[in-house]
Chains A and B, each alone.
Chain A
Amino acid sequence: NAGVTQTPKFRILKIGQSMTLQCTQDMNHNYMYWYRQDPGMGLKLIYYSVGAGITDKGEVPNGYNVSRSTTEDFPLRLELAAPSQTSVYFCASHTGRANYEQYFGPGTRLTVT
C-alpha cells in the first residue's frame, strides 16, 4: 500500500492565483481530512469528509473548497491565494473506527507571495 499520497510537495503561488492540492489514499478509508500546520499553532482542521459525496467544514475553512467524488481522492482547492494561506498542508485518512489512528500524507509546503 502507498498509504496517503499528496502532490505537489512544494509550490509557490502568487497572490490571487488558484491551485488544487491533490490527496489520494489506497486503504479504502471512508474518512479523509485536510489540515494546515502553522508554526507554533499545531494542526488545524480545514475540511473533512466521511465518505464519497459528503464533505464538511472544519475549524478554518475560509478560502478553501473540497470535493469527494471517489473514496480514494480528496482534493483541496484554493481559489484566490492569499499570503495567509502560506502553510504546510497535510491530508489524512481514517477508517472511522474508534481504536484506529489517522494516517497522514507527506505534506505540501505552500508559499503565497
Chain B
Amino acid sequence: ILNVEQSPQSLHVQEGDSTNFTCSFPSSNFYALHWYRWETAKSPEALFVMTLNGDEKKKGRISATLNTKEGYSYLYIKGSQPEDSATYLCAFKGSQGNLIFGKGTKLSVKP
C-alpha cells in the first residue's frame, strides 16, 4: 500500500509569518507530485504539478521544492495572509496508477 504523509496535520500562524510544510511519498516509481489548495466549502484547486527531481516552482508568495530520490516535497508560504488559510493537499502519482492523496495540512492564519 502506497502511503503519502503530510506534516504537520495543522498549523496556526500569525499574519506575516512565513511557514512551510512537508509531504513524504514513495521514492520509487515516481511520476509526479501535485499540490492543491483547498478552502473550506470549496473544491481543491491545483497549485503545482512537479515531475523532476530538484524542481522548484513558485506562484506569488507560495513555492514548492521536490526531492524524488528521498521522497519529499516542501511547500513554503512567505508572509502568510489570512486568505492563505486553507488545507494544503499533496498527491503522489506513481508510474502506474492514480493520484494518492495525503490527508492535508490545515493552515490557519490569524490577522
Contacts and interface: CB of A to CB of B under 8 A. Distances in A.
Contacts, number: 43
What DSSP secondary structure best describes chain A's contact surface? loop
Interface in B32-80: 32, 34, 36, 42-46, 49, 51
Contacts of A105: 43
A45 B98 contact: yes
A40 B46 contact: no
The winner among A40, A43, A100, A106 for most chain B CB atoms within 10 A is A43
B34 A101 contact: yes
Interface of A: 33, 35, 40-43, 45, 48, 58, 90, 98-107
Given A43-B101, A101-B34, A104-B45, 10 more contacts: A41-B103, A43-B44, A43-B89, A98-B49, A98-B51, A99-B49, A101-B46, A102-B44, A103-B46, A105-B43
29 contacts: A33-B98, A40-B103, A42-B102, A42-B104, A43-B44, A43-B89, A43-B91, A45-B98, A45-B99, A48-B98, A90-B44, A98-B49, A98-B51, A99-B32, A99-B49, A99-B51, A100-B49, A101-B34, A101-B36, A102-B34, A102-B44, A102-B46, A102-B99, A103-B46, A104-B44, A104-B45, A106-B42, A106-B43, A107-B43
